[in-house]
Every structure is written in C-alpha cells, then in structure tokens.
C-alpha cells in the first residue's frame, strides 16, 4: 500500500500545498480485467487538489473518492472532478464511487450550484458511510471511524496489501502481508478515534489547532495528536492539516510532549510505502 500526500494545508489551500487530499494505492486483482492492477482511492478532494493529483495519476483512473466530511476544504474540488467526468476525458466511464456522510449529494449540488433534480447518476455513484461498516475497493478495505467535529465527520482506517519491493518481492503464489493506516479527517481527540487508530502502521493525523486554540470539538492541537498516537500505539505519525499561518515547528514541539516515536510533518508529493 502506498500513500501519497497530494494536499495537506489546513482549512484552505496554502502557498506550499493544496488543501486536504491523500492518494492511497495498492496492487490487487481486478475481476473485470482478469488481471492484477493498481487501485487508486483519494481521501478528500480539497481546493487545488484535483490539479495536484494529476501530477501522480490520471484522474480517470480513480476507483473511489472517500470524503471524511463535507466541509469545503475537504471537498471543494469535486466540481473539477464532475467536469472531468461529464464533459472531459473521463466522459462515458462507469460512474465513479464517491463515499461520504449522508448529506454528500446535497453538498455537491450546493458547491456545484446545481438544482435538486441534478442526481449526478451519469458521473457518480454515491455511497453513505456508516461508522464501523467497511467499504471494499479492490484490495483495500476502508472502515469509517466516528470523529468529533463541528459537523458529522469520519476518520478512515485502511487495510491493504504490503508493498513488496526489492529483496522483499513476493515469490509466485505468496500472499502479501496486510498493512494499515488511519486518516483522522478533521476531529478533536475522542475515544472512537483512539480505537480506530489502534496499532496502525501509519497514523495520518490532523493538527488543525495549537495549544493557543482552546475550543473543543473541532480540531486537535499537537499535544492531543501525540496522545492519540501514543494511546493507539501506532508505528509512525504523520501530522497534517496544519494552518498555513502556523509554524510547523510549534506543532512538532507540542506533539513531542506526548509522542516520542517516528514523526513527520506532511508535505505535498511525499510518498509513504507501507
Ligand atoms: Zn479541514
Ligand atoms: Zn472540517
């Protein structure tokens, strides 16, 4: 399984990155093709991310887009995806699976400026996520985890095959081992997120706040992010969704009060191979 940071700036696009979007890829068998291929799932599609995604894959090759929640900084570029599928190069392809909270279709219409009769049936297949109910996409299993945010929001736990390279390359007939990650979406620290992140190889966690922000139920500061990683016992922590006006060093200092394991600050185009 491979994770590519497409966009990672908090709450908006920033000078160094688009807003939230993460590409998860894994090799797996495609019954329709009768062969193995790379499966592509995007987590969120924030402002500026559709263009940035294009640097890594042809958007026509997406198998699904999973939206953690319906704030515009996580889904604004769905309008670009729509144009690409209805009138652009992906025209005529089977409808693309879009998964999100139950108001996803309404929110797409609002952002797109479309009337209630627009159902996007030609372009999209809309799926409502429910906490604990996994969504299968090729070799990837995506399980929504209930978050604590200002609107309904999910984290997404993803299980998939380990990427076997070089000396670790699989022998014929050998099955890859399973690896997993959790993307928090936007959330304050809550028991469901700790449980969802339990033992993952990689935790991709938002840090929308710093200790200077005292409001509860929206984002985590760095101390809470570190606590999430420690209590869940994760392998590696990647901190993302830092506001463009926040010095990442401030967040790292906060995280280091509660987490001593491997730590990165997300940067666009960064690739993690699990
Ligand atoms: Zn956000
Ligand atoms: Zn949000």
Identify the pLDDT of residue 166.
63
Count of the separate structural domains present in the chain: 1
What's the domain range around 253?
A: 2-273
Q: How far is the CA of 187 from the centre of ligand 1 (A)?
A: 9
CATH number at 147 reads 3.60.15.10
Share of the chain above pLDDT 70, in %: 97
pLDDT, tens digit (0-9, with 9 covering 90-100), for 116-147: 999 999 999 999 999 999 999 999 999 999 99
Any idea which ligand is nearest the CA of 153? 2
Q: How confident is the model at residue 55 (pLDDT cuts 50, 70, 90)?
A: very high
Q: How far is the CA of 72 from the centre of ligand 2 (A)?
A: 8
In the chain, what's the furthest Cα-to-Cα distance?
Answer: 55
pLDDT score at 168 = 63
Q: How far is the CA of 89 from the centre of ligand 1 (A)?
A: 29
Q: What is the whole-number distance in angstroms between the Cα of residue 125 and the centre of ligand 2?
A: 23
- Quick check: 244 and 15 in contact, CB under 8 A? yes
pLDDT, tens digit (0-9, with 9 covering 90-100), for 172-227: 777 789 999 999 999 999 999 999 999 999 999 999 999 999 999 999 999 999 99
Ligand number nearest CA of 206 is 1
């Amino acid at each position: 399984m491979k994770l590519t940071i497409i966009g990672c700036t908090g709450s908006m696009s920033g000078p160094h990155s688009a807003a939230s979007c993460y590409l998860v890829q894994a090799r797996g068998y495609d019954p329709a093709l009768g062969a193995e291929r790379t499966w592509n799932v995007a987590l969120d599609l924030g402002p500026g991310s559709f263009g940035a995604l294009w640097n890594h894959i042809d958007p026509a090759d997406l198998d699904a887009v999973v939206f953690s929640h319906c704030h515009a900084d996580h889904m604004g570029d769905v309008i670009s995806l729509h144009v690409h599928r209805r009138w652009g190069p992906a025209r005529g392809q089977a409808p693309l699976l879009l998964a999100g909270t139950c108001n996803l279709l309404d929110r797409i219409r609002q952002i797109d400026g479309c009337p209630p009769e627009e159902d996007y049936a030609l372009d999209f297949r809309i799926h409502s996520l429910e906490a604990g109910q996994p969504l299968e996409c090729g070799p990837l299993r995506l399980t929504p985890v209930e978050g604590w945010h200002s609107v309904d929001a999910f984290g997404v736990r993803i299980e998939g095959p380990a990427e076997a390279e070089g000396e670790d390359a699989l022998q014929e007939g050998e099955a890859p081992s399973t690896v997993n990650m959790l993307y928090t979406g936007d959330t304050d620290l809550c028991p469901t997120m700790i449980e969802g992140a339990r033992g993952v190889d990689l935790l991709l966690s938002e840090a929308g706040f710093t200790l200077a922000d005292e409001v509860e139920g929206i984002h985590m500061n760095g101390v809470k992010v570190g606590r999430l990683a420690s209590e869940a016992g994760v392998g590696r922590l990647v901190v993302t969704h830092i506001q463009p006006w926040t010095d990442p060093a401030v967040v790292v200092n906060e995280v280091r009060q509660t987490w001593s394991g491997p730590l990165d600050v997300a940067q666009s185009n960064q690739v993690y191979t699990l």
